[in-house]
């Protein structure tokens, strides 16, 4: 995990994280900006097959942050796990594949929370 703090900038933190699983690599980027004294967070996730450079799934997640970073990430992870479970049990091959990919993104996001320090986890995010 790469965490950078910026002083005297609109960007407050950037978090870059790559997690490698058996079949996929998940790349996550999070940019936390200061906009008129409000913190705005942009979260990006890509999933890439191992031994390939092709990105299968790219997402930008936008949340209405009214809680701590840690709580908002947990809510996003729970939502992704629910979507993943629903897709994997849909009897649709395309949705099943998306469900598997979402489950890996949720796992990687969980791992980010384990590795970030308390100051980042508990930083107040007002909106996106």
pLDDT digits (tens, 9 = 90+) for 14-54: 888 889 999 888 888 888 777 666 667 778 888 888 887 76
Tokens 């897709």 locate to 87
Q: Could you read off the pLDDT of 86-122 as tens digits, one per residue? A: 999 999 998 998 899 889 999 998 988 887 755 555 5
Q: Which residue has the tokens 């950037």?
A: 14
């Amino acid at each position: 995990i790469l965490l950078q703090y910026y002083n005297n900038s609109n960007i407050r933190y950037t978090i870059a994280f790559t997690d490698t699983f058996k079949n996929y690599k998940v790349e996550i980027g999070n940019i936390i900006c200061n906009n008129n004294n409000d913190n705005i967070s942009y979260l990006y996730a890509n999933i890439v097959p191992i031994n390939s450079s092709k990105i299968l799934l790219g997402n930008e997640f936008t949340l209405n942050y009214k809680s701590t970073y840690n709580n908002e990430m947990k809510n996003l992870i729970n939502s992704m796990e629910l979507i993943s479970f629903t897709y994997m049990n849909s009897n649709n091959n395309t949705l099943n594949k998306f469900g598997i990919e979402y489950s890996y993104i949720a796992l990687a996001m969980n791992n980010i929370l384990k590795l970030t320090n308390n100051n980042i986890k508990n930083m107040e995010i007002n909106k996106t």
